[in-house]
């Protein structure tokens, strides 16, 4: 539909009879900004899962939006049967019930179809490490190939762009819902296609803040995480038996003490709040809040020499 000389794509995407359509608009300006940094095209994606850890949890929804070099727009969406019960706390989060996925395909074919959808194009997600970790686990689990795609994080990008701005010129924080409000975007949070589209629009707005002649290099500098094919060594992403309790503690939000071979407390126990065990290019890592420093950190699993449930009575979640 032409309005004031600008073609606006109204993305009325037929998802599932159990999931609402998305009507978020991708404008010509969004596409121009994105293609100035990603001239061959770009894909933004989002997943919904049974929980946060790629080691123990499962994917239940994949959605993505693709901008091709010719400015055409296409989408991908699939609900997935995880073959396990979805916890009630997760259902409250994304509103995907067990009945909605019971007759859906299991992960292998949707993941292959998604891989075919993005090919070697760069991928964008908000807090991309979490979503990418499930993609990496699935590719290994089903012996699928790894593309050469670069992975970018719209959260990391927005932090870099706005961190030195005045308070009134920057978002309150860098959560997807806060950024959507900052850009006056209306959407349904934790619905995968909406989240993917908003992540794409966040990246487009961040790119718009950069000098046009420096956009490809600056986006690489500010938003790049890693290449997907950095994770091809399957043996590095199989969770060793001795670390399996850590993944369980993370899923139950159990505070633990870890003796870590590194940092200022080398070899000493420190209390942490585990969030998830995630794949990193250097191998598996525990993402956790260090309760001593009150900061979130990555701890390489192979450097965790011992762990136990914390007996620190003052440690709190």
Query: Which strands, in side-by-side order, build the sheet including 123-125?
Result: 73-79, 59-68, 41-49, 123-125, 150-153, 224-227
Digit-coded pLDDT (tens) for 11-42: 333 344 456 566 788 999 999 999 999 999 99
316 within domain boundaries: no
pLDDT at 69 over 50: yes
- The verdict on residue 269 lying in a domain is yes
pLDDT, mean over the chain: 87
Q: Do 223 and 248 have their domain in common? A: no
Residue 315 lies in a domain: no
Same domain, 41 and 142: yes
- Structural domain containing residue 288: 236-309
Single out the residue in 231, 258, 274 at which a domain terminates: 231
Answer yes or no: do 241 and 217 share one domain.
Answer: no
CA distances for 141 relative to 55, 112, 237, angstroms = 11, 12, 10
Element at 257 (helix H, strand E) = strand 256-260
Asked if residue 142 and residue 100 are part of one domain, the reply reads yes
Domain end position, chosen among 231, 264, 290: 231
Q: Return the CATH number at 57.
A: 3.30.420.10
Q: Give the pLDDT of residue 5.
A: 39
CA-wise closest residue to 151 among 103, 101, 223, 206: 223
- Per-residue pLDDT band for 193 (boundaries 50, 70, 90) equals very high
CA–CA distance, 188 with 227 (Å, rounded to integer): 29
Q: For residue range 138-187, what is the model confidence (pLDDT) as tens digits? A: 998 899 999 999 999 999 999 999 988 887 788 899 999 999 999 998 87
Same domain, 180 and 216: yes
More confident residue, 18 or 219: 219
Domains in the chain, number: 2
Give the pLDDT of residue 21: 64
Instruction: Tell me, yes or no, whether 191 lies in a domain.
Output: yes
Span of 46-55, 127-136, 218-227, 257-266 with lowest mean pLDDT:
257-266
Asked if 207 and 244 sit in the same domain, the reply is no
Q: Which of 193, 214, 231 is the last residue of a domain?
A: 231
> Quick one: 154 and 46 in the same domain?
yes
């Amino acid at each position: 539909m032409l309005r004031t000389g600008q073609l606006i794509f109204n993305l009325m995407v037929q998802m599932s009879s159990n999931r609402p359509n998305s009507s978020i608009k991708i404008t010509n300006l969004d596409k121009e900004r994105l293609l100035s940094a990603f001239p061959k095209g770009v894909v933004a994606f989002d997943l919904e899962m049974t929980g946060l850890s790629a080691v123990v949890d499962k994917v239940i929804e994949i959605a993505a939006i693709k901008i091709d070099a010719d400015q055409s727009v296409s989408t991908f969406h699939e609900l997935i049967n995880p073959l396990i019960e979805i916890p009630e706390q997760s259902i409250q989060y994304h509103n995907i019930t067990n009945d909605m996925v019971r007759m859906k395909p299991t992960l292998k074919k949707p993941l292959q179809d998604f891989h075919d959808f993005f090919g070697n194009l760069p991928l964008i997600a908000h807090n991309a490490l979490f979503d990418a970790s499930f993609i990496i686990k699935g590719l290994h689990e089903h012996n699928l190939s790894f593309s050469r795609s670069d992975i970018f994080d719209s959260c990391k990008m927005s932090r870099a762009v706005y961190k030195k701005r005045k308070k009134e010129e920057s978002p309150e924080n860098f959560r997807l819902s806060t950024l959507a409000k900052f850009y006056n975007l209306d959407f349904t949070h934790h619905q995968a296609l909406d989240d993917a589209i908003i992540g794409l629009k966040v990246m487009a707005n961040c790119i718009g803040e950069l000098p046009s002649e420096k956009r490809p290099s600056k986006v690489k500098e500010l938003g790049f995480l890693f290449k997907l094919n950095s994770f091809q060594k399957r043996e590095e992403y199989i969770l060793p038996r001795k670390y399996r309790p850590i993944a369980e503690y993370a899923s139950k939000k159990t505070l633990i003490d870890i003796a870590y071979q590194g940092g200022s407390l080398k070899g000493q126990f420190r209390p942490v709040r585990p969030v998830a065990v995630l794949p990193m290019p250097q191998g598996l890592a525990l993402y956790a809040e260090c309760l001593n420093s009150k900061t979130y950190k990555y701890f390489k699993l192979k450097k965790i020499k011992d762990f136990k449930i914390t007996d620190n009575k003052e440690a709190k979640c």
